[in-house]
Structure 1
Amino acid sequence: MFPLIVLYVVLAIVRPQEYFASLAGVPVLPVVLALAFAAWLASGTRVPSAPQFLLLPAFFVVLMVSEVANGWFGGIKDQFGKFGPIVLAFFIIATACNTHRRVRVLMAVMVMCASILALHGVGQARTGMGWSGIPIGEDGRIQYVGIFNDPNDLGMLFVSVFPMACLLLTRARALGKLFWLACIGMLLYGVYLTNSRGAMLGVLLVVGAYVWYRRGLVVAGILGVAGLTVMKMLSSRMQELDAGEESASGRVDAWYEGLHMFTSHPLLGVGPGNFTDYNHLTAHNSFVLVLAETGFIGYLLWLAIIGYSFWMVAAVLRFKVDAVAEPERYARWQDERPLALTLLLSLCGMFMCAFFLSRSYMIVLYFVLAIVTGFYVGARQRVDGLPTLAMSESGGRWIPAAIGSIAGLFVLVAVLLRTSG
């Protein structure tokens, strides 16, 4: 089962089936996922107790119901084809990645795949054409095939796996350190070549969050200001980081339209994929996109999936064990902390990018969420006392969290509209 899901992750990211003529029309991804799912069923693996295993299928149902509520009964079949594979992949990864070794293996696979895409971008930047047959964008920004044909998507991938590469670097020996260091350099250079402001801010947040965790808020703030200054010097688009700039202004207008869609369709939204039927631009914000397309019900579930994922890794980091009274338990907890911190940083970078991109249904996002879920399920088995995070005990808190975050979006958009005006 695990080798098949690793193969699926490779194919989902590198996507050779989309530029090799011999694979044109061959359903490579569905076949590999079906085989992985069959192996998962045959293994008799029980679905562990974690909120995401209930919330994600519920969100999937809301996507289909939203389609029907907006008059398209064929949307049920459409969502089975689009979001169904994401749900299956999530379940398989989250149930399989419950050991340190498997989590690190999947991290290594994702880092290497992302580095291949960054290397493809380097070739694009030098020659104007990548080996996939995809040329560099008209604006000079690198791009790839399929779901990574937007430079911002590439940037989000690079930022998401950057902390993973750093963890692998710290655990490797001499030659391994050189390899992972090269991957880190390739990923950061890839972010630069995407010229994605969201990705650059994501890198800044990852580094800032790490420094904050290790050295405190003051040091992180000082280095953050310095880092933002350097990024503005390196990127012309970062110099235009202003609400009044044309691209940013268009995003704010899209956010406004998305909030208007929510107020006109408050429960189930306007339907998945229908945002551009109401506005010529997509939302450019994953939170606004879910809110507009699936309404309060879908947004509540999606926010809970994300919230529980952050809560899981934070719970490991904040857990306290007396080193003197319980040395063995303390040692086990110490073993969990590097992975928990890495996954927290990956989530921070990924959702910084997602805040400026419409990537609510992108599969790589759910790969990371699945790894987090599987890691925490395993951590609870290895370290006694970690909280269960049962929905029966904590599920109600996401209602005020959803209401508060929606209110925050309304306030943010109102402020930005005044500023850009």
Structure 2
Amino acid sequence: MMMFVFVLIYLMLVLLRPQDYPQMQGFAIPILPLAMAAAAAAWVFSREKRFNAPQYILLPMFHLVLCLSLLAIGWFAGALEAFLYFLPCVVSFFLLANAVNTPGYTRTTMMVFVLCAFVMAVHGAQQASTGVGWTGQTTVEDGRIQYVGIFSDPNDLGMLFVISIPMAVYLGSRGGFLGMRRLFWFCGCLLLAYGIYLTNSRGSFLAVVAMTAVYIWIQRGAIWASMLGAGALVVLRLMPSRLDELNVQESSASGRIDAWYEGMQMFITHPVLGVGAGQFTQYHYLTAHNSIILVLAETGIVGFALWFAFVGYGFWMMYRIVRFEPEFEDEDDILDWQEARRMALVLLVAQSGFFAAAFFLSRSYVILLYLLAALVVAHHSNVLARFPALGELRLRSHIVRWGVLTMGAVAAFYVVLKVLLAMG
């Protein structure tokens, strides 16, 4: 319990970022590192430590490859810098994945994500109304809202709103308090949708469509998902937003495709360990604007294989819970499984939204990705402990599979890139 409390405090500081408010710039105490240290100490002294997911191996290995990619080009100081830069992502993943060890803790963590997103959406509404929020941050680029710290980019803020929407829907679906709880969370969903609109992030708009399509695909099938997804895209294109500018000839989209091409060339010339973590802009004036090509170009096939498996296991874990059909005789077991499946569907949809947006952004190393991954791993471990028939996933059993899938993903991206270049 104590470890979970410390981790929640750390999580709230990571998301709400009070330490990054301009009013706090003269405050000398490093709040966030101290909160992480306290949570890490609680984990060290905890009796229950879990390492029963492939991600516990894959993420430290990917961290190592980030450093090796820079050592390979002879930059020792850069390797140390990369180690320290990515370390909070690794530590945060381990802490959250271990602290959330009950279904109740999973729901509480979802509540923290969503409530923090509510606060930022209200801040954004104030920005849109007055031009400046209580943090002192102003709007950017023709009125697009932003927050502070890691959410000072409207696209990052939109990604948090995106992954929070399915969590808010789930929390509202539980009812209670004469319907007031449902009203609160569903009104919060509207607030988050308004926040996404205010960010005017094309990736976030597309992510909402992707989440809707995935949910309908799971519940109704691929045909319904395709039809309603296409309809949602038409509606979004009719809205007054930057989506109506989206085509391969538009300057922003053309710049992204050029960056993807340059990233592929970096991979071709440095196929094993890439050009080095953080070195993409040393070879091209723009960042990759794609989380896949960024990892591929900067860490080569070795780093990409590890990162791709890390991400892929997250989807696989939630999908297998959603599709698993156990046989129960006890009514309590049936209810517990139904609840576990609902949470898995929420996390599957949230991941779909995150990576739909991340496909158009360079967000391979952001902490939000690894916090969401930790919640996914924690839920899978909790379900596995309660229902062992689900079966544990072991990395050594899937090495060949991930090798084939990795090469297939690279080939598929190359084909897509060729098509986009031809269209442009």
Asked if these proteins are the same fold (TM beyond 0.5), I'd say: yes
Aligned 8 A contact 1:165 1:180 in 2? yes
Paired residue for 1:417, among 387, 410, 421?
A: 421
TM-score w.r.t. the length of structure 1 is 0.96
Structure 1 CA distance, aligned partners of 2:38 and 2:288? 35
The one-letter amino acid of 1:372's match is V
Residues 327-348 of structure 1: CA deviation (Å, up to 9, x unaligned): 5644432231101100000010
2:365 corresponds in structure 1 to 361
Aligned 8 A contact 2:22 2:136 in 1? no
Paired residue for 2:17, among 15, 21, 24?
A: 15
Q: Secondary structure at the match of 1:74?
A: helix
Q: Secondary structure at the match of 1:129?
A: coil
Structure 1 CA distance, aligned partners of 2:285 and 2:79? 25
Paired residue for 1:181, among 180, 186, 193?
A: 186
Q: Secondary structure at the match of 1:229?
A: helix
Of 11-20 and 400-409, more deviation after overlay is shown by 11-20
Aligned 8 A contact 2:97 2:374 in 1? yes
Uncovered stretches (5+) of structure 1, i.e. residues with no partner: none
- Note the C-alpha offset of 1:221: 2.1
Structure 2 CA distance, aligned partners of 1:101 and 1:335? 11
Q: Secondary structure at the match of 2:74?
A: coil
Structure 1 CA distance, aligned partners of 2:129 and 2:155? 20
TM-score w.r.t. the length of structure 2 is 0.96
Q: Does 1:40 align with 2:39?
A: no
Structure 2 CA distance, aligned partners of 1:328 and 1:122? 43
Paired residue for 1:398, among 386, 402, 411?
A: 402
1:167 corresponds in structure 2 to 170
1:122 corresponds in structure 2 to 125
Structure 2 CA distance, aligned partners of 1:22 and 1:343? 34
2:257 corresponds in structure 1 to 252
Aligned 8 A contact 2:98 2:378 in 1? yes
Residues 133-179 of structure 1: CA deviation (Å, up to 9, x unaligned): 11100332111111111111111111111111110010132221122
Please show how residues 256-267 of structure 1 align to structure 2 within 5 Å.
Answer: 256-267=261-272
Structure 2 CA distance, aligned partners of 1:154 and 1:200? 12
- Note the C-alpha offset of 1:23: 5.2
The one-letter amino acid of 2:38's match is L
Aligned 8 A contact 1:303 1:402 in 2? yes
Please show how residues 344-355 of structure 1 align to structure 2 within 5 Å.
Answer: 344-355=348-359
The one-letter amino acid of 1:310's match is F
Residues 338-380 of structure 1: CA deviation (Å, up to 9, x unaligned): 0110000001001101111100011011101000001101100
Q: Secondary structure at the match of 1:118?
A: helix
Structure 1 CA distance, aligned partners of 2:327 and 2:389? 12
Q: Secondary structure at the match of 1:373?
A: helix
Residues 384-411 of structure 1: CA deviation (Å, up to 9, x unaligned): 2112110121132111111111111111
Aligned 8 A contact 1:48 1:377 in 2? no
Aligned 8 A contact 1:195 1:235 in 2? no
- Note the C-alpha offset of 1:326: 6.6
Residues 212-260 of structure 1: CA deviation (Å, up to 9, x unaligned): 2222222222222221111111133111221111110000000001111
2:105 corresponds in structure 1 to 102
Structure 2 CA distance, aligned partners of 1:186 and 1:164? 14
Structure 2 CA distance, aligned partners of 1:331 and 1:120? 38
Q: Secondary structure at the match of 2:388?
A: coil
Q: Does 1:66 align with 2:58?
A: no
Structure 1 CA distance, aligned partners of 2:22 and 2:244? 39
Structure 2 CA distance, aligned partners of 1:161 and 1:187? 8
Structure 1 CA distance, aligned partners of 2:188 and 2:277? 36
Q: Does 1:337 align with 2:319?
A: no
Moved over 6 A (4+): none
- Note the C-alpha offset of 1:20: 4.7
Overall identity of the aligned pairs, in %: 46
Please show how residues 245-324 of structure 1 align to structure 2 within 5 Å.
Answer: 245-323=250-328
* CA RMSD of superposed structures (Å): 1.4
Aligned 8 A contact 1:315 1:387 in 2? no
Uncovered stretches (5+) of structure 2, i.e. residues with no partner: none
The one-letter amino acid of 1:377's match is S
1:76 corresponds in structure 2 to 79
The one-letter amino acid of 2:40's match is F
1:86 corresponds in structure 2 to 89
